[in-house]
Amino acid sequence: MDLGFDIKKSFGEFRIDVSLSLNDDLLVLFGPSGAGKTLILKMISGIVAPDEGYVTIGSEKVFDSKTGVARPIRERKIGYLFQDYALFPHMTVFENIAYGAGAKQGAVEAKVKELVSLTRLTGLEERYPRELSGGQKQRCALARTLASEPRVLLLDEPFSALDYQVREKLRADLLRIHDAYPITTILVTHDLEEAFMLGRRIAVINNGRIEQSGLREDVFYRPATRDVARFIGTRNIFTGTVAGVNEGQVIITNPDLGVIKAFMPGEGGPLIGAEVSFCIRPEEILVIRPDKVLDSKVQDNIIEGEIVSATGKGSTQVLFLKVGTGDTLIKVELPNFVVRKLSLAIGRLIRVSLKRENIWVINR
Amino acid sequence: MDLYPLYLTIKVSFTATVFTVAFGLLLAWVMAKREFLGKAVLDIIIMQPLVIPPTVLGYYLLGAFGRLSFLGRFLEDVFGLQIVFTWKGAVIASFISSLPLFVKPARAALEGVGSDLEDAARLLGKTELQVIKDITLPLAWRGIAAGAVMAFARATGEFGATLMVAGNIPGLTQTLPIAIYDAVQAGDAQTANVLVGVITLFSFIVLYIAGRFTKGRF
């Protein structure tokens, strides 16, 4: 089912102005806390009324400020998973799900049974919500929502209230359930890992606006703005001046990094003399062995720096290199074995290579 | 001993509580779930009987329902209803003075049912009536019931306003608290002791029941 919206709403200084369209897919709405993500879901579902704009489900306009259409919540057939699940505390798991199905007893029973087994709640049907774990509550709420046969599913931070260990399993569950019930879905999260794992399509939202939306790979490796680059954890975002442009390449100078060569970010690239940002993900930076003799081909974008900090992060180490005379720091993430093999430690000088194909120039 | 005051008190209190719950539930719901201009003022007006002297309340009611008032004459001329110096006056006095004791806990109970739960039901396609019937009331009924018990207890103890509006006519408008006052004035210690004992025991039971209601399961 197609879902499209273009909605605006002001709360004093804060303003939401977003438009998106999607179909039969799972879109992740990703952004920092306070970006307006939950409010967007509430406006789509009708819990909060937008100041202006429209919301379309399939071919039906459920909200349109121009014609004055505003279907009540109950007629929109939207499934909504609240952040704290909003299970009815006076009903059992079975009753909660059956209330969602809300039809005649016999038909409901079969449907509830199916959903109970799909969401791995078998044996818990007679329990009350207070007797369930966080993950069970979440799956019960999802089952209740699916029971109402929604045209669109809105999930508000569905994993934020759960322990780290169960999240991973439940994310896999969600993808499995989405395969079984391929409903147009918007999932809201501020968790980068979650966004990457669940969303084939991602929309990055900040300050009430969509900064970029597109395929996961585009958003993660080709951020459109500095903010997007920051939110997706790129960390190494630098600015420089364009010194030259030729054959799809751009040469950028930065006082600390020196001369950096990168590929052009598509057509309409930057002009000579323009100020641009460019970024590289920490895990895409290569360390060059001290004894290695470099041939001319890989001499581009070689930077020397001093390790000023090293922090373990599970299977990898995060190093910060201080380069140049200013306070530019480069974040490098390396597998533990590399750090051990090259005995990289604080205070050592090392050379790293920022390969051209790993650098992304932000055009704006 | 004349048991009429006991009978009258129960009759008046019960009738008043029916009105309190019916009207108070509406008020509590509006106060809990709706935003409107003058809400703060309405809240103060509802709560005022808690703090103004019952005699003042009685004076107001006398002014509103007396023969000289428009409302009093209207009720008498059109419906043949006489309020002042009848047991109906006692009902109105009890109703007004017990209303805040019901509205306060009932409103808190209704507010306690989070809007997310009600929205969740609406999202499942339920109408407003279904939301109230299936979600709001089942989750708030303990607070509402506790409020009703408190209101009933308050009504049984109503003295000042009742005396002003309904007077002290033995066998007609003399409720239990007024009968106690009468007995003490007349030096009838035996009657006073029995009636005081009855009302003390009664209020103890009522508070116990109200406490049971508020110890919720959910």
pLDDT in tens, A212-257: 999 998 888 888 888 898 888 888 899 899 888 877 888 899 888 8
Band of pLDDT at residue B194, cut at 50, 70 and 90 = very high
Q: Which residues of A touch B (CB under 8 A)?
A: 45, 47, 72-80, 82, 84, 86, 88-90, 99-100, 102, 130, 144-145, 147-148
How close B184 gets to chain A, by Cα (Å)? 51
Q: Is residue A141 within 8 Å of A81, Cβ to Cβ?
A: yes
Average pLDDT over chain B reads 91
Indicate the residue of B116, B123, B139 with minimum beta-carbon distance to A90.
B139
**Token pair of B159, please?**
């003295």
Interface probe for B, chosen from A47, A48, A130, A153 (most Cβ of B below 10 Å), is A47
Q: Does B216 touch chain A (CB under 8 A)?
A: no
Query: Which residues from chain B sit within 8 angstroms of residue A147, using beta carbons?
Result: 124
Listed in order, strand segments (DSSP E) in B70-146 are none
Residues contacting A17, CB < 8 A, separation 6+: A7, A8, A208, A209
Q: How confident is the model at residue A296 (pLDDT cuts 50, 70, 90)?
A: low
CB contact under 8 A, A75 and B125: yes
Mean pLDDT of A115-141: 93
Residue A103 has pLDDT above 70, yes or no: no
Instruction: Please name which of B203, B144, B157 lies closest in space to residue B24, comparing C-alpha atoms.
Output: B144
Name every residue whose Cβ is closer than 8 Å to that of residue B31 and which is 6 or more positions away in sequence: B39, B42, B43, B46, B103, B107
Work out the minimum CA distance from A140 to partner chain B, whole angstroms: 13
Which residues of chain B make contact with A73, given a CB cutoff of 8 A? Answer: 119, 122-123
For residue B77, give both structure tokens.
């001329």
In the DSSP assignment, the letter for residue A75 is: G
Task: Indicate which of A57, A73, A85, A97 best probes the interface with B, i.e. most B CBs within 10 Å of its own CB.
Answer: A73
When pLDDT is cut at 50, 70 and 90, the band that residue A105 belongs to is low
In the predicted model, is pLDDT for residue B216 greater than 60?
no
Smallest CA-to-CA distance from A74 within B63, B131, B185 is with: B131
Q: pLDDT tens across B132-177, in order?
A: 999 999 999 999 999 999 999 999 999 999 999 998 988 899 999 9
Indicate yes or no: CB of A90 within 8 angstroms of CB of B117: no
Q: Which of B124, B127, B137, B139 to probe by mutation at the A interface, max A CB count within 10 Å?
A: B124
- Tokens matching residue B112: 């306690």
Q: Which of A197, A181, A192 minimizes the C-alpha distance to A147? A: A181
Q: How far apart are CA B20 and CA B84, in angstroms?
A: 19
Interior angle at CA B213, CA B207 and CA B218, nearest 5: 150
Q: Which amino acid is at B27?
A: L
Return d(Cα B106, Cα B25) in angstroms, integer. Answer: 7
**Residue A217 CB burial class (10 angstroms; 0-12, 13-18, ≥19):** exposed
Q: Are A145 and A115 contacting, i.e. CB atoms less than 8 angstroms apart?
A: no
Taking residues A125-144, what's their average pLDDT?
94
Beta-carbon neighbour count of residue A341 at 10 Å?
A: 12
pLDDT at A269: 66
Closest residue in A to B116 (Cα) is A86
Decide if B218 touches A, using CB distance below 8 A: yes
B80 touches chain A (CB under 8 A): no
The pLDDT-based confidence of A47 (bands split at 50, 70, 90) is: very high
pLDDT by residue (tens digit) across B75-88? 888 888 888 899 99
User: How high is the mean pLDDT of chain A?
Assistant: 89
**CB atoms A45 and B127 under 8 Å:** no
Inter-chain residue contact A74 with B123, CB threshold 8 Å: yes
Report whether pLDDT(B187) > 80. yes
Q: What is the mean pLDDT of residues A121-142?
A: 94
Nearest CA in chain B to A46: B123
- Counting every residue, how long is chain B? 218
In angstroms, what separates the C-alpha of B200 from chain A's closest C-alpha?
Answer: 36
Write down the pLDDT at residue A297.
60
Two structure tokens written together for B10: 């129960």
Among B116, B124, B138, beta carbon nearest to A82: B116
> In this complex, do A73 and B139 lie within 8 Å of one another by their Cβ atoms?
no
Largest CA distance in chain A: 77
Q: Chain A: give the shortest CA distance to residue B127, in Å.
A: 7
pLDDT score of B9: 93
CB B97 within 8 A of CB B57: yes
CB contact under 8 A, B218 and A90: yes
> CB B139 to CB A89 under 8 A?
yes
CB contact under 8 A, A86 and B114: yes
Chain A residues close to B124, C-beta within 8 Å = 74, 99-100, 102, 144-145, 147-148
Are A99 and B139 within 8 A, CB to CB? no
Question: In the prediction, which pLDDT does B28 show?
Answer: 95
pLDDT tens for A189-199 read: 998 888 988 88
